[in-house]
């Protein structure tokens, strides 16, 4: 099997710059051993006006059987003949993709020490693949390549030219042309999409394939319209790996939407330690207060928004009153730890049917959050910048609109009781603010009035007579007319007007 990469140029920008980019000199044919054969790089033409590099891969069919997955071309373990009589020596596949990454590794990374200005320059490119398996036909080939800036010419290959009535085979001849892409981008596109079109891999797909996919797909895969198909096929339809890849790609998309770095969003868990945190007495009291409030509300289907490492989800699972529990967090790292904590991979079918975890940002509406009895935001709002709170308010109270919403947040007045906390410091480095009891009450009452909820306030932890409790909790209920503090209800003039209206 082989492919060619061609470019054009002039005396000022010679086409032979392609040799610098590929790290292969046009005058010196290159050969190297690869896992299942031998790869050769040669230049059929190389001058200032036009330069073409050809990658020729000679496949050792016997080595492929002995050291490969031991399966026939179609994946049938007993297809003895198919192990030796197949299209692998001729049709572009994952074998060619692996050879590309091995022979042109520096070019794929965009590295050129001899001419560092070249890798970032877009140049006229023409790539030809004479025999490409295309499960999905020519239309799928176009859908995969054209959104990336390629003009794709796809010619179906007949099953037999002597018998045209037999129709076309699943192979095509592909020509890609572009004026706007770099050589590194072109190689990364081919590395991912060749095995995707073949819909097969010659080696076992392990967890490190997710990292390979994300590295090669950086800058183009998160926004590709066929991202789901690419991810699924590249990872050999392994569900767990596909889910992990999509979640990480969604995190990249959210970061790009927010014009921030992935690390800034995926920061719910300390990077230096993923060990299970030891619950403090206050954390235990907070969960007990939440469970009591949920029990009193009669909720059965509960959202834990900003679930972190899953401590509350774990506590909810122990109570049979809660028949459906959903943990939501923007941090993929936190969800991974939560999954480990809950032992989802070893959980019984009946218990597993009660719980699910998924990634979402509370700054955006999400239809998956609609229709639940209750939602909990435990120590969440203080991690958002104040200008972004209205977006969270609408996403939870306006769009998702559960019957009951519980919000807990630190009481900044209580900070003076923490001997280890320096004056003026917040309790966690990622807290964007910490409110007094009056500030929290003002915010909660405004949200309740705006979205048609009643709200009452419950202290969590020891209620200090001077500075109040360490944690404050607001309990929002649809249809509750009065605003309550603890167990005593009070009603403001604004609430009376809202009730009357």
- Mean pLDDT on 443-470: 93
Q: How many other CB atoms are there within 10 angstroms of residue 431's CB atom?
A: 17
Residue 155 has pLDDT above 50, yes or no: yes
Q: Pick the range with the lowest mean pLDDT from 2-6, 73-77, 338-342.
A: 73-77
What pLDDT is recorded for position 256?
62
What pLDDT is recorded for position 66?
65
For residue 271, give Cα distances in angstroms to 275, 340, 404.
10, 17, 33
Encode pLDDT of 312-333 as tens digits.
999 999 999 999 999 999 998 8
What pLDDT is recorded for position 152?
95
What pLDDT is recorded for position 238?
87
What pLDDT is recorded for position 195?
93
Residue 486 has pLDDT above 50, yes or no: no
What pLDDT is recorded for position 267?
59
Residue 101 has pLDDT above 80, yes or no: yes
User: Residues near 50 by Cβ (< 8 Å), separated by ≥ 6?
Assistant: 6, 7, 8, 9, 15
DSSP β-bridge partners for residue 408: 378, 473
What pLDDT is recorded for position 264?
58
What pLDDT is recorded for position 268?
56
- Mean pLDDT on 155-166: 90
Mean per-residue pLDDT over the chain, rounded: 85
What pLDDT is recorded for position 357?
93
What pLDDT is recorded for position 349?
80
152: left (phi over 0), alpha (psi -120 to 50) or beta: beta
- Between CA 10 and CA 419 the distance in angstroms is 73
pTM of the entire predicted model: 0.54
| Closest to 392 (Cα-Cα) out of 302, 345, 328 | 328
Instruction: Please say whether the beta carbons of 403 and 297 come within 8 A.
Output: yes
What pLDDT is recorded for position 280?
55
- Between CA 391 and CA 365 the distance in angstroms is 8
**Per-residue pLDDT band at 462 (split at 50, 70, 90):** confident
What pLDDT is recorded for position 76?
38
Q: Which is more confidently placed, 108 or 255?
A: 108
Burial 441-452 (b: 16+ CB within 10 A, else e): bebbbebbbebe
Report the Cα–Cα distance between both ends of the chain, in Å, rounded.
76
- Between CA 230 and CA 214 the distance in angstroms is 11
- Mean pLDDT on 357-381: 93
What pLDDT is recorded for position 59?
87
- Mean pLDDT on 439-446: 96
What pLDDT is recorded for position 475?
97
Residue 99 has pLDDT above 60, yes or no: yes
| Closest to 303 (Cα-Cα) out of 375, 407, 392 | 375
What's the token pair of residue 339? 């999954």
Q: Rg of the chain over CA atoms, in angstroms? A: 30
Residue 308 has pLDDT above 80, yes or no: yes
**Per-residue pLDDT band at 240 (split at 50, 70, 90):** confident
The phi and psi torsions of 458 (rounded to 5 degrees) equal -130, 125
Q: Which is more confidently placed, 223 or 79?
A: 223
What pLDDT is recorded for position 422?
64
What pLDDT is recorded for position 496?
34
What pLDDT is recorded for position 489?
36
| Closest to 460 (Cα-Cα) out of 439, 488, 486, 426 | 486
Residue 128 has pLDDT above 50, yes or no: yes
What pLDDT is recorded for position 355?
93
* 283: Cα separation from own chain's centroid: 30
What pLDDT is recorded for position 491?
39
What pLDDT is recorded for position 269?
54
**Per-residue pLDDT band at 161 (split at 50, 70, 90):** confident
């Amino acid at each position: 099997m082989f492919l060619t990469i061609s470019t054009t140029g002039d005396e000022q920008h010679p086409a032979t710059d392609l040799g610098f980019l590929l790290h292969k000199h046009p005058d010196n044919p290159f050969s190297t051993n690869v896992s299942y054969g031998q790869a050769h790089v040669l230049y059929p033409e190389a001058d200032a006006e036009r330069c073409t590099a050809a990658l020729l891969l000679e496949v050792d069919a016997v080595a492929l059987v002995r050291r490969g997955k031991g399966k026939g071309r179609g994946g049938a373990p007993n297809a003895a003949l198919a192990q030796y009589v197949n299209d692998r020596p001729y049709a572009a596949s994952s074998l060619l993709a692996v050879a590309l990454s091995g022979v042109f590794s520096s070019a794929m990374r965009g590295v050129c020490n001899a001419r560092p200005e070249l890798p970032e320059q877009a140049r006229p490119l023409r790539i030809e693949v004479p025999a490409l398996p295309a499960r999905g036909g020519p239309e799928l080939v176009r859908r995969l390549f054209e959104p990336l800036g390629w003009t794709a010419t796809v010619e179906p290959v007949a099953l037999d030219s002597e018998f045209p009535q037999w129709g076309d085979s699943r192979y095509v001849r592909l020509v890609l042309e572009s004026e706007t892409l770099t050589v590194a981008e072109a190689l990364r596109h081919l590395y991912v999409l060749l095995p995707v079109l073949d819909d097969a891999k010659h080696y076992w797909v392990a967890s490190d394939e997710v990292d390979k996919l994300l590295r090669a797909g950086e800058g183009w895969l998160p926004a590709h319209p066929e991202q789901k198909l690419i991810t699924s096929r590249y990872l050999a339809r392994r569900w767990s790996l596909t889910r992990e890849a999509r979640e990480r790609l969604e995190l990249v998309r959210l970061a790009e939407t927010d014009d921030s770095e992935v690390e800034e969003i995926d920061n719910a868990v300390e990077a230096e330690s993923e060990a299970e945190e030891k619950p403090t007495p206050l954390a235990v009291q907070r969960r007990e207060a939440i469970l009591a409030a949920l029990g009193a509300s009669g909720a059965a289907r509960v959202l834990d928004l900003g679930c972190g490492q899953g401590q509350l989800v774990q506590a909810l699972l122990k109570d049979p009153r809660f028949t459906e529990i959903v943990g939501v967090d923007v941090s993929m790292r936190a969800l991974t730890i939560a999954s480990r904590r809950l032992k989802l991979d070893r959980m019984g079918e009946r218990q597993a049917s009660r719980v699910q975890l998924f990634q979402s940002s509370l700054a955006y509406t999400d239809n998956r959050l609609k229709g639940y009895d209750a939602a909990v935001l435990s120590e969440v709002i203080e991690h958002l910048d104040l200008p972004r709170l209205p977006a969270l308010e609408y996403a939870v109270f306006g769009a998702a609109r559960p019957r009951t919403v519980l919000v807990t947040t630190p009481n900044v007045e209580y900070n003076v009781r923490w001997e280890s906390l320096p004056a003026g410091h917040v309790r966690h480095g990622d807290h964007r603010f910490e409110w007094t009891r009056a500030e929290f009450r003002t915010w909660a009452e405004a949200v309740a009035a705006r979205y048609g909820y009643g709200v009452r306030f419950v202290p969590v932890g020891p209620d200090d007579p001077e500075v109040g409790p360490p944690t404050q909790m607001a309990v929002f209920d649809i249809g509750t007319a009065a605003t309550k503090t603890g167990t005593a209800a009070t009603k403001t003039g604004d609430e009376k007007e809202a009730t009357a209206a």
